[in-house]
Amino acid sequence: MARKINNTKVSAPEKVEAAKKCDKAVDAEIKPDRQLKLLFVASECQPFVATGGLGDVMGSLPHTIKKVCDNCDVRVMLPLYGDIKQEYREQMTFLGYTNVELAWRNQYCGVFELVKDGVTYYFLDNEYYFKREGQYGYFDDGERYAFFSKAILSVLPLIGFIPTIIHANDWQTALVPVYLKTIFHDEYYRNIRTVFTIHNIAYQGKYDPAILGDVFGLGEQSRSILCYDGIINLMKGAIVCCDVLSTVSPTYAEEIKTPEYSYGLHYIIKQNAYKLKGVINGIDTKFYDPSSDESIFVKYDKNSVEGKIQNKIQLQQMLSLPVDRNIPVVSIITRLVDHKGIDLIIQSIDELMKNHLQLIILGKGDLRYEEILKNFESRYPNKIRAIIAFNQDLSRKIYAASDIYLMPSKSEPCGLAQMIASRYGAIPITRETGGLNDSIVDFGTGHGNGWTFKNYSARDFIYVVRNAVEVFHNHKEAWNDLRNIVFSVDFSWEKSAGEYLKIYHSLM
């Protein structure tokens, strides 16, 4: 059975290939099988491109699903950003191109494919939108990701794939469930179900209501889907249109129903709570493994902690801090933004500096935080390093060198750093919120794996850090036992991948 590929312009040999693939897909549609065909869509994915936790999750969840469900067909779609490395580009195959209409625009969209660990990755190419430095922060981000979302659905016939489920993530792909409900009425798309995951409700994709038609290409009849509080809110649109709404920890799933955590979306979250699930993230324990990590100074594991101490010594040398194996290295690796609790850290630094410790901060973000932290470094040159950068290589060196890892977040949908720190044998100190609450339990309970505090208060935070530093200096044996516990916690993805599989199957 031949199928017309709407809007698709491909060159001759590619056209034949695409048509063949398309026929296969239509056959699959006619004879539905029970195979789960999953398409993850997101604006970032390790190891190709990542600026934060979303990239980590996209880099590990799809291939864990494939690992635990061999029969599943797992694919991922990403923009082909200008800064994706040549080494990956060389592994890509060009599949063809189509034209994507977005309001009055008609834009080229090339499709490249790369297969890795049993997962197929597609990179959607449009140089005007994506051949830029970095990923976000451009005046036309709304248009760029509207294009990406529309392109995701538009290229499916070209690659001959009808997913059972499209799993979209955060505001950048929020328009996928919306377009599927409002524009893509063709039979080809009829049976596709959607899961939408909120990785951070603070970033919603808010735009002027005037651009609904002109940029997002939607008619007036769709206004009520996207509008919220008088403006266009892409995340709200996805919340309404998706079949299952999820977020990255059970505690955060409860928190976002309240005004304190919802950034204004609690009404709509509560209305849609019947389809809301909270599934905690895991980490890729191979990607983050001190026994094989090429970035760190000396490889080690929990049975060779002398290696960890060597990492501390070499990092102290590298950062020109006093070299001392007996001083605890306390670290923070984060985006310097409000919800990470940077103000709590700033309020606490003078008090913390009264203790015998070294504080290493790595991150970038709000200019005022960058400046304040740099200032602290000049006030305490022998105790503080504030490195204003996003540097994955250095972050691994810091995890490996650290004794204590701080995460006093005001809100934290899941948080991965507490898990990565644990993997590298740094004891986490976390605030009991979101995924931190679901992953780190206070040692005081008798079955803990870190130190925690509840109130967002500098006093409570300082109290726990002081206590940890005291144990480090004065109770060596207890310290080693606690570190061993932390080292042994299993934060791998397998269990949570099983939870996601249950969700996907419930939609089939």
Do residues 110 and 126 lie in contact, with contact meaning Cβ atoms separated by under 8 Å? yes
Q: Which single residue brings its beta carbon nearest to ligand GLC?
A: 53
Residue nearer to ligand GLC on the CB measure, 38 or 198: 198
Of 37-45, 122-130, 235-243, 406-414, the segment contacting ligand GLC by CB under 6 A is 406-414
Burial class (CB in 10 A: 0-12, 13-18, 19+), 437: buried
Query: What is d(CA 296, CA 52) in angstroms, rounded to the nearest whole number?
Result: 20
Residues in contact with ligand GLC, shown as a per-residue x/- string from 164 to 203 under the rule CB under 6 A: -----------------------------------xx---
Smallest distance from ligand GLC to CB 281, Å: 5
Indicate the DSSP class of residue 268.
H
CA pair distance 405, 410, nearest whole angstrom:
16
* Angle at CA of residue 496, ends 494 and 501, nearest 5°: 95
Residues in the interface with ligand GLC (CB under 6 A) total 14
52 binds ligand GLC per the rule CB under 6 A: yes
| Residue range at the interface with ligand GLC (CB under 6 A); choices 22-30, 47-55, 60-68, 489-497 | 47-55
Pick from 415, 425, 428, 450: which binds ligand GLC (CB under 6 A)? 415
The residue within the footprint of ligand GLC, chosen from 412, 450, 458, 493 (CB under 6 A), is 412
* Binding residue (CB under 6 A) for ligand GLC from 25, 38, 43, 53: 53
**Residue 26 engages ligand GLC in binding (rule: CB under 6 A):** no
Q: Quick one: 53 or 205, whose CB is closer to ligand GLC?
A: 53
CA dihedral 210, 216, 218, 223 (to 10 degrees): -50
Q: Which is nearer to ligand GLC, 234 or 248 (CB)?
A: 248
Query: Applying CB under 6 A, which part among 129-137, 325-333, 407-415, 425-433 lies near ligand GLC?
Result: 407-415
C-beta of 125 vs 412, nearer to ligand GLC: 412
Closest CA to 5 of 227, 153, 125: 153
Query: Cβ closer to ligand GLC: 149 or 246?
Result: 246
Residue placing its CB nearer to ligand GLC in the complex, 57 or 332: 57
The residue among 57 and 362 lying less far from ligand GLC, judged by its C-beta, is 57
Q: Which two tokens stand for residue 137?
A: 């922060």
What single letter denotes the amino acid at residue 255? E
Nearest to 332 by CA among 395, 392, 272: 395
- Please report how close the Cβ of residue 98 comes to ligand GLC at its closest, in angstroms: 31
- The span from the CA of 419 to the CA of 428, in Å, is 8
* Burial label, 9 (beta-carbon count in 10 A; 0-12, 13-18, 19+): exposed
Quick check: helix, strand or coil at residue 389? coil
Strand 231-233, strand 227-228: pairing = antiparallel
The span from the CA of 448 to the CA of 438, in Å, is 12
The reply on whether position 413 binds ligand GLC by CB under 6 A is: yes
Q: Which of residues 231-260 bind ligand GLC (CB under 6 A)?
A: 248
Cβ neighbours around 432 below 10 Å, total: 17
Report the residue number, 52 or 448, with the smaller CB distance to ligand GLC.
52
- Residues near ligand GLC, by CB under 6 A: 52-54, 57, 199-200, 248, 281, 412-416, 435
